[in-house]
Structure 1
Amino acid sequence: MVQVKVNEGLLEGERVTSDLVGTFYSFKGIPYAAPPIGDLRFKAPQPVKPWSGVLSAKQHGPQCPQYNIISKQLENGSEDCLYLNVYTPNLEPNKPLPVMIWIHGGYFCSGNGNDDVFGPEFLIRHDVILVTLNYRLEVLGFLCLENEDIPGNAGIKDQVAAMKWVKNNISSFGGDPNNITIFGQSAGAVCVTLHCVSPMTKGLFRRAIAQSGTLQNWWGREFRPRERAFALAKKLGCTSEDEKEIFNFFKEQPWEKLVGIQIPLTWKEKDLTSEGFITMFSIVSEKVLPNVETFFTGDITDALKNNVHEGVELIVGFNEDDGAITFALIHDIENTISWANNSEGYFVPTTLGQKYSKDELKEIGSEMKKMYTRGEIVSKNNLSPVANYYGADFYKYEILQFAKQFSVKNKVYFYIFSCFSERNVFAKLFGISSYFTKNVVSHNDDIAYLFPISNINQKIPKTSVSYNLIYRMTSLWTNFAKTGNPTPDTKLGCNWRTFNAKTKSYLNIGNELTRGVAPLREEMEFWEKMYEKSDKLFTTKSS
């Protein structure tokens, strides 16, 4: 047992022995904000109250109520879920240690910070401190009525509260409050990039890593949030048009009735949800209100031009086959094949499908289909066109656009992740690996090279391919957290060059490290032409 004093009181954690790390210190289930229950549901997090005596920090706190996008079922949780975990290799180091705060993904509707997935051993052996956390999800975290009762963005404001807690307390664990890196994957990466432009988080961190997601990805921004909130109330039986009545209705519902409901507002959303699930509640551009601190308001493009925190260094990129499991979340294989071959709107970029009708987008949909299918029929033996389309639509195109904008003022390192070993499990988990003739490096596969996921074989011989890939990946990430440069010396055998709109330099993080320029040049240039074409088409129509 080991005790640490933080601002709110005494914590008792554990001294842990690991074959991979040796000894480290674990503190789990630390409350970083007051329970968001009762009148605090949907509100920004409030400070945690100090406690007397010693608080046990040996077990994770409850996960937040959620819908599991893999099992497609509600999972048990508690609205009292705002807890974080701290893992440190040394409580009294000679020099304060760099700190890495992990923000989990899960499409804004599932996930937690627990060590069955996000264990610390791979990272903290590089002499950094790892912090993981829970934040409110789905309706409870991201419902928005655009008023003081439900202003929106509660879930990402939870993250801000956790970051403030770390800033104020991490020195007690041997950490450096002036050298904090935030990093996250998928929805967590969207949050990371939003923290880079929010006035609420300025000065709370020094560096950022965004894996397979940015604030520009369409699924990371809620579409017509107020309208969606009213539609949800109506679907649940509340037909009132009065905001206060709707707020009271939402406040009184058990969480099980609120979570996991699809409220599609456009034809594209209806197509995507007809057989599967897409997130309905995520980050909103908040309405400025007199008694509410705003996390984000205004336009995404303007924010990237004017609000990026000065001096924040960034790693950003995506996985080679990020789209491979995405279509499996949305449609089963038979429906995927049918829709890809027969629906004129299937290959339409979702951002355009939220603005315009299917008829208006026929021409663009047809050109996109030709680009991805090359005139071939989509079948069980030929699903790559669908995976490649979803990879670009959900992730790659908008991630690259973000990197270009961010690099105008700040240092950016861009990557494509293509490591493959027995740790690439997600295509198998979704039952789609047999439909591809190549090794699939799907969405989420990068996580297994940063964290010792419990359901993957934990015996990793030092002579194995996996061991070397894990060591190299975690070295890149922790080097960056320590120095701002992922390759500060020649130990990894490659100098990772910075990215900007002119050089477009990137690193392919595969079974070997290789440098390149202009990632996915042909495909990304084609997407740019499609957006240019749509701009001209609808500008002409409106005039």
Structure 2
Amino acid sequence: MMSKFKKRIQLIAKMLQIVLLLLQTTLTLTAREPKQVTLVNQGTITGMYITRFRTKRIAAYVGIPYAQPPVDFRRFTAPDHADLPQWEGVRNATIYAPDCMQSDPKKEDVQNPLRKHDELFAKLLEAQMEEPRKKEYSEDCLYLNVYVPDDLRVEGYPTLVWFHGGDFVRGSPNNINPFQLVLKQKVIFVSVAYRLNIFGFFSTLDNAAPGNYGLLDQIASLNWVKNNIASFGGDPDNVCIFGHDAGAVSVGLHLLSAYSAGLFQKAIAMSGNVLSPETVNIARKEIITVDKVANAFSCFRTPTDQLLDCLRRVNYQALLDIGEPLAEWKPIIDTGFSNVSGPVIPDLPSKMFKDDIFTPVPVLTGYTNMEDALLLEKDGSGDSGVSQREFDVMREEIILADITVDNSSCFTNQHHIQDAVAFFYKPIPPTTNETVLRKLFLDFYTDKVHGATTYQLAKHISKHAPVYLYRFDLKPFSDIANEGIPDWIGVPHNFDLIFTFGLPYSALPEDFSKWDYRDKSISEIVMKMWSNFAWYSNPTNSGVIIEWDAFETERPGYLIINRQNFTMSTPETVNYKAFEFWTDFYPKVVEIGTKCCKETAEDNGSEQMLPTRMLHSLLYLYLILVLLS
């Protein structure tokens, strides 16, 4: 009888142990805070859980400082990340930091307009939020956010470090919600704030203020990731820098900068290319900007130390309101500016890539099929065509920007360069159909600005590391995503991000049914390919049955992402001849044409006329042979 009683007691004790263990597990799973993390030379932080449907969640640590506040004497200096901000106790990393100083643009703002594609995409993002985030701006803005999967792995997670877009004058690391990417693909996502506009890119063109602070902020954030990501479960030797628009240009510049070398192992650049026209400023064109800034704030222009003392006393809001409209703020080639540190950007990106001066890492890059189509909308009717005159004027203005000459006698030569481009893109047979002309103009602009530069970048990098190219032709099936976009437009700028970040899964409960199931399925595939690249340097390594070949000069393939399927490009789907025109033939036409101008300006004798005519004839003959070959 006693032995039965003892057995019963033992059984009850075991059951209690199991119940207690289950309770502990349940408490762990329903904990209101994720694990605390101790940061190197800073202190301990606590984060928060972001949840969906109660059962799905990721851990988020937001508003983490990665450098000292760039205020007062630190304004217009490289970020101070050697002596990081520190704190006692546990810091609350659950509140987003303000965005870096920027104007809040309006569509009707003539000086700094909000582009239609940015306006529509911002509305779509806001529709995904329960409460639209209040816009706050501060000069003290060097913070980042870390999003981590809510499970444990033996091996470290790869880390995607996100640099936002916004033409280097606006943007926020807090707008994109990486919940689906982190939850489903098991990657760590870090989004970074960096200084913008005059705060991030003013330079005195010497050692006093060399410039490029926004890029140096990004580099400081990569150093922080290198030192701390293991504490979040990440692998510090598997970091992928990732950007869109100006963020993608930043990614390209990090491939070139010696300061960034070793801080990342792969790169993704979406809808932005460091080889696109005028991505960086050059010193001789920026001298006038320094003069304008000095005059605007009534500061002495020289010595530059005194100019900086004056500018550092200017109220931050006044510096933004008066200073931002004075120039087109962007990174600058800073060779020779400083006698105590090396340049961030030593030379023109095109020259550095040509000379093989870059970090050879795997790259995934591409663009949408109608990046700039919404810029052609004139009256909001949604069906605005392009007349022959508009076509010619817009094309000529774009080409004129490439021709830098100092003498009016070059007018004739400019015409010959224009004629070469017009000949390549003229409609055959001739037409006055404004819809056809609109398509031709978009092809011209997309080929020149996006397609050819992506092609050229791949030709440089693929000699040393794998490159995966794509063109995003897939317009969402869901009406909620296409609101305000005319039927004739494919995928405008920003709208590939719908699939990259799983927006169809991020809708509010009342909008969840508005997303077509096909958009959800496609988003799963795109997120998988992008995260595969972060994990394995190959977008189709795991979980997708898609053929995506790395780019080779002899086999220059793009993955064409469209509604039918995802397939490698053919000469019918990608105009390789146009890319060769822009990367090989057109630069020769411009170089010879402008050189001829200078020679003519130096010597106006009649003996110059015959060689010039012969040159023009040869150029036309060469162009015809290229087109007919």
Same fold per superposition (TM over 0.5): yes
Task: Give the alignment partner of residue 523 of structure 2, picking from 465, 470, 475.
Answer: 470
3-state SS, counterpart of residue 373 of structure 2: coil
- Specify every segment of 5 or more residues in structure 2 that has no aligned partner in the other structure, as ranges: 1-32, 114-134, 600-629
**Are 1:291 and 2:340 matched, yes or no?**
yes
**Which residue identity lines up with residue 6 of structure 1 in the other structure?**
L
**In the alignment, which residue of structure 2 is the partner of 1:282?**
330
**In the alignment, which residue of structure 1 is the partner of 2:560?**
508
- Specify every segment of 5 or more residues in structure 1 that has no aligned partner in the other structure, as ranges: 265-279
* Bigger Cα displacement from structure 2, 26-35 vs 66-75: 66-75
Distance verdict in 2 for CA 1:235–1:174, change over 3 Å: same
**In the alignment, which residue of structure 1 is the partner of 2:103?**
67
The 2-side partners of 1:138 and 1:303 are apart by: 25
**Which residue identity lines up with residue 195 of structure 1 in the other structure?**
H
**In the alignment, which residue of structure 2 is the partner of 1:446?**
496
Distance verdict in 2 for CA 1:11–1:377, change over 3 Å: farther
**Are 1:306 and 2:342 matched, yes or no?**
no
Task: Give the alignment partner of residue 535 of structure 1, picking from 591, 603, 622.
Answer: 591
Maintained 8 Å contact 2:256/2:349: no
**In the alignment, which residue of structure 2 is the partner of 1:275?**
none
Distance verdict in 2 for CA 1:69–1:366, change over 3 Å: farther
**In the alignment, which residue of structure 1 is the partner of 2:38?**
5
3-state SS, counterpart of residue 468 of structure 1: helix
**Which residue identity lines up with residue 470 of structure 2 in the other structure?**
Y
3-state SS, counterpart of residue 100 of structure 2: coil
3-state SS, counterpart of residue 530 of structure 1: helix
**Which residue identity lines up with residue 339 of structure 2 in the other structure?**
P
**Which residue identity lines up with residue 406 of structure 1 in the other structure?**
I
In the TM superposition, what is the alpha-carbon distance from 1:366 to its structure 2 partner? Answer: 4.0
Maintained 8 Å contact 2:162/2:241: yes
The 1-side partners of 2:99 and 2:269 are apart by: 23
Task: Give the alignment partner of residue 64 of structure 2, picking from 30, 49, 72.
Answer: 30
Q: Deviations over 1:460-486 (max 9, x none)?
A: 569701111111111111001101111
Q: Deviations over 1:203-228 (max 9, x none)?
A: 11111011122221224212445324
**Which residue identity lines up with residue 404 of structure 1 in the other structure?**
K
Distance verdict in 2 for CA 1:523–1:306, change over 3 Å: closer
In the TM superposition, what is the alpha-carbon distance from 1:119 to its structure 2 partner? Answer: 3.1
Pairwise CA RMSD: 3.3
Q: Which has the larger radius of gyration?
A: 2
The 2-side partners of 1:395 and 1:105 are apart by: 16
Maintained 8 Å contact 2:38/2:44: yes
Maintained 8 Å contact 1:156/1:191: yes
Task: Give the alignment partner of residue 391 of structure 1, picking from 421, 443, 446.
Answer: 446
* Bigger Cα displacement from structure 2, 207-216 vs 252-261: 252-261
* Number of residue equivalences: 519
Q: Deviations over 1:472-518 (max 9, x none)?
A: 111111001101111114x4222211112221112112232111256
In the TM superposition, what is the alpha-carbon distance from 1:50 to its structure 2 partner? Answer: 1.4
The 2-side partners of 1:143 and 1:244 are apart by: 14
Distance verdict in 2 for CA 1:325–1:349, change over 3 Å: farther
**In the alignment, which residue of structure 2 is the partner of 1:56?**
92
Maintained 8 Å contact 1:32/1:84: yes
**Are 1:244 and 2:305 matched, yes or no?**
yes
3-state SS, counterpart of residue 409 of structure 1: coil
The 2-side partners of 1:463 and 1:303 are apart by: 45
Task: Give the alignment partner of residue 457 of structure 2, picking from 390, 393, 402.
Answer: 402
**Which residue identity lines up with residue 77 of structure 1 in the other structure?**
Y
Q: Deviations over 1:164-211 (max 9, x none)?
A: 111110111111111111111111011111111211111111110111
Distance verdict in 2 for CA 1:315–1:488, change over 3 Å: same
The 2-side partners of 1:287 and 1:14 are apart by: 44
The 1-side partners of 2:479 and 2:594 are apart by: 43
**Are 1:350 and 2:401 matched, yes or no?**
yes
The 2-side partners of 1:67 and 1:328 are apart by: 24
The 2-side partners of 1:355 and 1:35 are apart by: 43
Maintained 8 Å contact 1:66/1:259: yes
The 2-side partners of 1:34 and 1:354 are apart by: 44
**In the alignment, which residue of structure 2 is the partner of 1:268?**
none
TM-score by length of 2: 0.75
TM-score by length of 1: 0.86
**Which residue identity lines up with residue 596 of structure 2 in the other structure?**
T
3-state SS, counterpart of residue 396 of structure 2: coil
**Are 1:495 and 2:518 matched, yes or no?**
no
**Which residue identity lines up with residue 63 of structure 1 in the other structure?**
D
The 1-side partners of 2:315 and 2:436 are apart by: 45
Distance verdict in 2 for CA 1:105–1:39, change over 3 Å: same
Maintained 8 Å contact 1:151/1:287: no
3-state SS, counterpart of residue 94 of structure 2: coil
**Which residue identity lines up with residue 172 of structure 1 in the other structure?**
S
Distance verdict in 2 for CA 1:241–1:332, change over 3 Å: farther
In the TM superposition, what is the alpha-carbon distance from 1:237 to its structure 2 partner? Answer: 5.1
Maintained 8 Å contact 1:218/1:350: no
**Are 1:85 and 2:145 matched, yes or no?**
yes
**Are 1:363 and 2:423 matched, yes or no?**
no
Distance verdict in 2 for CA 1:214–1:21, change over 3 Å: farther
Superposed counterparts of 1:163-242, under 5 Å: 163-224=222-283, 226-233=286-293, 236=296, 238=298, 240-242=300-302
The 1-side partners of 2:481 and 2:316 are apart by: 29
The 2-side partners of 1:428 and 1:68 are apart by: 23
Maintained 8 Å contact 1:324/1:388: no
Distance verdict in 2 for CA 1:377–1:34, change over 3 Å: farther
**Are 1:110 and 2:170 matched, yes or no?**
yes
Q: Deviations over 1:268-301 (max 9, x none)?
A: xxxxxxxxxxxx1111111341233532212323
3-state SS, counterpart of residue 66 of structure 1: coil
Maintained 8 Å contact 1:28/1:58: yes
3-state SS, counterpart of residue 361 of structure 1: helix
**Are 1:155 and 2:214 matched, yes or no?**
yes
Distance verdict in 2 for CA 1:370–1:301, change over 3 Å: closer
Task: Give the alignment partner of residue 18 of structure 1, picking from 52, 59, 79.
Answer: 52
3-state SS, counterpart of residue 172 of structure 1: helix
Task: Give the alignment partner of residue 39 of structure 1, picking from 65, 73, 78.
Answer: 73
3-state SS, counterpart of residue 166 of structure 1: helix
Distance verdict in 2 for CA 1:134–1:423, change over 3 Å: farther
Maintained 8 Å contact 1:15/1:25: yes
The 2-side partners of 1:244 and 1:228 are apart by: 18
Distance verdict in 2 for CA 1:170–1:372, change over 3 Å: same
**Which residue identity lines up with residue 202 of structure 1 in the other structure?**
A
3-state SS, counterpart of residue 100 of structure 1: strand
In the TM superposition, what is the alpha-carbon distance from 1:368 to its structure 2 partner? Answer: 3.0
The 1-side partners of 2:480 and 2:590 are apart by: 38
The 1-side partners of 2:370 and 2:228 are apart by: 39
